Amino acid sequence: MIIDAIKSKFPGSIIGTGALVDKPMLIIKKDDILKVCEYAHELGFDHLSLITGVDYRDHFEVIYNLWSYSNKQDLVLKVMLDHENPKVQSVVSVWKSADWLERETYDLVGITFEGHPNLIRILLPDGWEGHPLRRDYDMQKEQYVLISETGEDIVTPDPSKALRPGKY
Amino acid sequence: METEQLMINMGPVHPSTHGVCRFKLIMNGEIIRDIIPVIGYLHRGTEKLGEMKTYLQFVPYTDRLDYISAMPNNYAFVKAVEELCGIEVPRRAEYIRVIVMELNRIVNHLVAIGSWLLDLGASTMIMYGFREREKVLSLYEMLCGARMTFNYIRFGGVRDDLPPGFIEKTREFLKEMPSRIADYEALLNDNEIFLMRMKNIGYISAKDAINIGVTGPTLRGSDVDYDIRKLQPYSVYEEFDFKACVRKEGDSYARYMVRIDEMRESLKIVEQALNNLPEGKVVSQTPGIGTYRWAPSTVSTFFPRIFNPPKGEVYSRVEAPKGELGFYVVSDGTNKPYRVKIRSPSFCNLNAIGTMVRGLKIPDLIAAFASIDIVLGDVDR
Amino acid sequence: MDQVEKKELIDTTKVRPKKRVPEISREKLEETGFLKTLLYSSERSRERKESILFSTVDQFLNWSRITSLWPVTSGLACCAIEMMAVSMAHFDIARFGMEVFRASPRQADLLFVAGTVTKRMAPRVKMLYEQMPEPKWVIAVGSCATSGGPYHESYCVLDGVDKIIPVDVYIPGCPPRPEAWLYGIIQLREKIKKEGYGAKWGMDK
């Protein structure tokens, strides 16, 4: 029912349908995600539970989980992105909870959200190199954190200043 | 007269914050103009470890997320994988899970209220709270051997059956707990100092709360009736008679009253569960989950060594004591998950501190921040 | 706001802390009979109802340090909840003299490192340690602070806090039971009892 309403309004945007065990799922084109989200917000989906990114080796996926308090329904939206240049529009203007969820996805998976007011790292320090949850992240490379004189973090791969010398 | 805005750093190590959380406060004299939380000092990389460990090896890591109440965390992950595989859990195991999770809800609210009052300068409530917590922890120790990180709820049931003497001791605890809750209310409800520090501090409206993504007792204190145990019932919660506690005012005092009411409802649920406890096995005998007998018949559980769920994705959520805890699991048919994503309640609730605190002074910030009840293991994962 | 003079930060990798007083071996203490002096003399004074006590400077200093160690509130993760439980009424830590948890490190002399030390938090823990005045001791609580614990394969966790500060006692467990915590404190007291100023001043003969 909800799917039919969205299909009739945006016929060209939907690429596929599916189900996440028992929740209806729609795969949307990358450029239309903001319009579909605004329409879903009007239909009554006012709680954004989750925004995630997953790295399959040849493409990225971004998943949005929505819930409606008034109709008591779930909806899942998915967007497929290229591997070289993962960019998608930000939905901060619709739900404010997307603020920190998108920052975390940028930090750990490396997907850029256009239109986000403050897209900087949130869980890792600012100068960290690499995005850990990608499949090609090098776990053998160690990076250490020092404090500068102003109190901000500096990230270096050099352990000589960070660790105690000698045997422990 | 020239004035400037001052930035004060409430650093990661501070006796008032619940862990290592840092705030940058932009002040105009004594009034707070803006607040920027800086998190990530306890980021341990649990999600990356989820891709390197098998399903059964990942269950202890879920304990360490919200370490004050560890059973619902276990249950959220186990429920997600059980939905993916289609495993049916026996009824006795479901009842034991409900008993254990509701007792954990009581422990969590006791610690929350206790440390909230310790931040405000009163040390009585935390002594009372930890005294009751010791009784519940001795019950847990009888059950699974650990005090804080249990690793008790497994795929297809629970780890082991109830030991002899557990039901009698739980009934003793249930008998004396209502008078203790009456003690706490007599100490705090009409206390002038408490009311002055709590009423009208940290107000958030229902519309703002829903938009920012706040869940749990913080949301129910603002007149929104959202309790996952009632709206999307999981496990055997449909068979129990309890109500979701909602208050109208939206300030810190309302959130405190919601927590006291929830403790009473949890006691009711545990009593009903003990009265109707069915007989039977505690681990599912569904074919496909595998049987691997590793001890003689004194151990009533069988656990598979190799556990391969089918390909697919699942997102399932649970009403943890702090809010909505969700796990998004992607499986590719091997014995290790492809991706585990944790939607933690404290991470999304911390977003609301900005709206609650603008225009107040620093001691009000401490009272409002403690009323959201976050735990840094959940925020940073 | 930027007219404050910038002081140079001390680099503890180059500057060593003051040398700890050397230990006297237990055999030496026993053969000279110094170990039992305080105990016997207090019993004798009680029998004779006198108020004179005999002791050595070593024992007196060590006794005064052991019985009032003041810790800093520095709980990082799950082990911090066990720290709160140890300081509450059931397992009382106040009977060991530690009822006062000081908020400022400059007023304390014991640092409990309880919880996982991540790479981002490591320089702050080191700053806490440097701000404590001598004499100071460090207890590493839990398996995360000892050696990284269950997170030792992670990309952002430091493998043990003894990579940045020197540690006196390690308490294993995840989290350690309050009884294990108290056992660790007793081990620290035994360690402090062995410190000897007499050896430094040539009084052990």
Query: Which of C4, C152, C176, C162 has the alpha carbon at shortest distance from C78?
Result: C176
pLDDT of the residue at B288: 52
| Separation CA B341–CA B347 (nearest Å) | 13
Q: Are B3 and B28 in contact (CB under 8 A)?
A: yes
Candidates C11, C123, C153; nearest CB to A145: C123
In a domain, A143, yes or no: no
Residues 6+ apart with CB under 8 A from A140: none
Fold entry, domain B6-380 = Cytochrome-c3 Hydrogenase; chain B (1.10.645)
In DSSP terms, A63 is beta-bridged to A52, A78
* Beta-sheet pairing, C137-141 with C169-171: parallel
Helices (H), chain B: 46-50, 55-63, 71-85, 91-120, 124-144, 166-188, 192-198, 206-212, 217-220, 228-231, 252-275, 345-349, 353-357, 362-372, 376-380
Q: Is the omega angle on the peptide bond into residue B287 within 30 degrees of 0, that is, cis?
A: no
pLDDT of the residue at C43: 64
Query: What mean pLDDT do residues A5-31 have?
Result: 80
Confidence band for A70, pLDDT divided at 50, 70 and 90: confident
- DSSP letters spanning C16-35: PPPPPPPBPPHHHHHHHT-T
Query: What mean pLDDT do residues A90-100 have?
Result: 90
Task: For chain C, positions 72-91, list CB contacts with chain B under 8 A.
Answer: 73-78, 80-82, 84-85, 88-90
Over residues B99-151, the pLDDT tens digits come to: 999 999 999 999 999 999 988 888 888 999 999 999 999 999 998 888 989 88
Q: What percent of chain A stands above pLDDT 90?
A: 18
Say whether B328 and A50 touch across the interface (CB within 8 A): yes
In chain A, what residues touch C160 (CB-CB under 8 Å)? 168
- What is each CA distance from B240 to B266, B324, C57, in whole angstroms? 11, 20, 69
Is B294 a residue whose pLDDT tops 50? no
Nearest CA in chain A to C154: A139
Query: What mean pLDDT do residues A158-162 have?
Result: 75
Q: Which residue is associated with the tokens 């009593």? A: B271
- DSSP letters spanning A102-131: HHHHHHHT--EEET-TT---SSS-TT--S-
Query: Which of B284, B288, B289 has the alpha carbon at shortest distance from B301?
Result: B284
Q: From the CB of residue B83, how many other CB atoms can be counted at a distance below 10 Å?
A: 18
| Separation CA B331–CA A20 (nearest Å) | 12
Q: How far is B14 from chain C (nearest CA, A)?
A: 7
pLDDT of the residue at A105: 92
| Separation CA B336–CA B55 (nearest Å) | 6
Query: What mean pLDDT do residues B291-304 have?
Result: 44
Helix (H/G/I), strand (E/B), else coil: B289: coil
Query: Which of B135, B121, B125, B73 has the alpha carbon at shortest distance from B101?
Result: B73
Instruction: Give the domain CATH number at C171.
Output: 3.40.50.12280
Confidence band for C8, pLDDT divided at 50, 70 and 90: low
Taking the CA atoms of C86, C91, C94 and C95 in sequence, report the sign of the dihedral they define. Answer: negative
Confidence band for B339, pLDDT divided at 50, 70 and 90: very high
In chain B, what residues touch A49 (CB-CB under 8 Å)? 213, 315, 317, 324, 326, 343
In a domain, C203, yes or no: no
Q: Which bin fits B323, alpha (ψ -120 to 50), beta or left (φ > 0)?
A: left
Candidates B15, B41, B126; nearest CB to C121: B41
Taking the CA atoms of B120, B121, B125 and B127 in sequence, report the sign of the dihedral they define. Answer: positive
C115 CB-contact burial (10 Å; exposed 0-12 / middle 13-18 / buried 19+): buried
| Separation CA A60–CA A41 (nearest Å) | 25
| Separation CA B83–CA B90 (nearest Å) | 14
Best of C2, C152, C156 to mutate (most A CBs within 10 Å, chain A): C156
| Separation CA B311–CA B328 (nearest Å) | 14
In a domain, A155, yes or no: no
The total domain count for chain A is: 1
Q: How far is C185 from chain A (nearest CA, A)?
A: 21
The total domain count for chain C is: 1
Over residues B155-183, the pLDDT tens digits come to: 878 888 888 889 999 999 999 999 999 99
pLDDT of the residue at C1: 45
Query: What mean pLDDT do residues C71-90 have?
Result: 88
At residue A49, φ and ψ (nearest 5 deg) are -85, -45
How many residues belong to chain B?
381
Q: Which residue is associated with the tokens 């800093």? A: C72
Confidence band for B271, pLDDT divided at 50, 70 and 90: very high
Say whether A124 and C156 touch across the interface (CB within 8 A): yes
Q: What is the Cα gyration radius of chain C?
A: 20
B69 CB-contact burial (10 Å; exposed 0-12 / middle 13-18 / buried 19+): buried
pLDDT of the residue at C27: 65
Confidence band for C199, pLDDT divided at 50, 70 and 90: low
Nearest CA in chain C to A154: C120
| Largest pairwise CA distance in chain C | 68
Task: For chain B, positions 18-37, list CB contacts with chain C under 8 A.
Answer: 19-20
Instruction: Give the domain CATH number at A117.
Output: 3.30.460.80
Token pair recorded at residue B106: 């009581």
A134 CB-contact burial (10 Å; exposed 0-12 / middle 13-18 / buried 19+): middle
How many residues belong to chain A?
168
Q: Which bin fits B120, alpha (ψ -120 to 50), beta or left (φ > 0)?
A: alpha
In this complex, the chains that touch B, judged by 3 or more CB pairs closer than 8 A, are A, C
Q: Which residue is associated with the tokens 């009456």? A: B182
In a domain, A86, yes or no: yes
In a domain, C48, yes or no: no
Q: How far is A13 from chain C (nearest CA, A)?
A: 39
pLDDT of the residue at A159: 77
In a domain, C146, yes or no: yes
Domain containing C167 equals 69-191
In chain B, what residues touch A47 (CB-CB under 8 Å)? 210, 213
In a domain, C143, yes or no: yes
Nearest CA in chain B to C85: B130
Chain A with chain B: Cβ pairs closer than 8 A = 77
How many residues belong to chain C?
205
Over residues C91-147, the pLDDT tens digits come to: 888 888 888 888 888 999 899 999 999 998 888 898 889 999 888 899 999 999 999
Q: Are A15 and A27 in contact (CB under 8 A)?
A: yes
Is B29 a residue whose pLDDT tops 60? yes
Taking the CA atoms of B217, B245, B357 and B348 in sequence, report the sign of the dihedral they define. Answer: positive
Task: For chain B, positions 310-329, list CB contacts with chain A under 8 A.
Answer: 312-315, 317, 324, 326, 328
DSSP state of C59: H
Helix (H/G/I), strand (E/B), else coil: C97: coil
| Separation CA B62–CA B69 (nearest Å) | 11
In chain C, what residues touch A150 (CB-CB under 8 Å)? none
| Separation CA B133–CA B111 (nearest Å) | 8
Mean pLDDT of chain A: 85
In a domain, A141, yes or no: no
| Separation CA A107–CA C59 (nearest Å) | 56
Query: Which of A161, A166, A111 has the alpha carbon at shortest distance from A133?
Result: A111
Query: What mean pLDDT do residues A42-58 have?
Result: 89
Domain boundaries defined on chain B: 6-380
Token pair recorded at residue B338: 């492809």
Mean pLDDT of chain B: 86
Q: How far is B335 from chain A (nearest CA, A)?
A: 17
Token pair recorded at residue C171: 């308490």
pLDDT of the residue at B75: 93
Residues 6+ apart with CB under 8 A from B374: B18, B21, B322, B346, B349, B350
Query: What mean pLDDT do residues A49-57 have?
Result: 90
Is B260 a residue whose pLDDT tops 90? yes
In a domain, A128, yes or no: no
The pTM is what? Answer: 0.87
Q: How far is C157 from chain A (nearest CA, A)?
A: 10
Q: End-to-end CA distance of chain A, in Å?
A: 65
In a domain, C34, yes or no: no
Query: Which of A86, A120, A83 has the alpha carbon at shortest distance from A100?
Result: A120
Q: How far is B127 from chain C (nearest CA, A)?
A: 6
C112 touches chain B (CB under 8 A): no
| Separation CA B348–CA B202 (nearest Å) | 17
Q: What percent of chain A stands above pLDDT 70?
A: 98
C118 touches chain B (CB under 8 A): yes
Query: Which of B135, B47, B133, B86 has the alpha carbon at shortest distance from B347?
Result: B47
Nearest CA in chain A to B232: A72
Candidates A21, A65, A123; nearest CB to B39: A123
Mean pLDDT of chain C: 80
Q: Are B6 and C64 in contact (CB under 8 A)?
A: no
Q: From the CB of residue B358, how many other CB atoms can be counted at a distance below 10 Å?
A: 12
| Separation CA A159–CA A144 (nearest Å) | 7
Query: What mean pLDDT do residues C51-72 have?
Result: 81
Query: What is the amino acid identity at position B238?
Result: E
Say whether C156 and B68 touch across the interface (CB within 8 A): no
CA–CA–CA angle B209, B110, B176 (5° rounding): 130
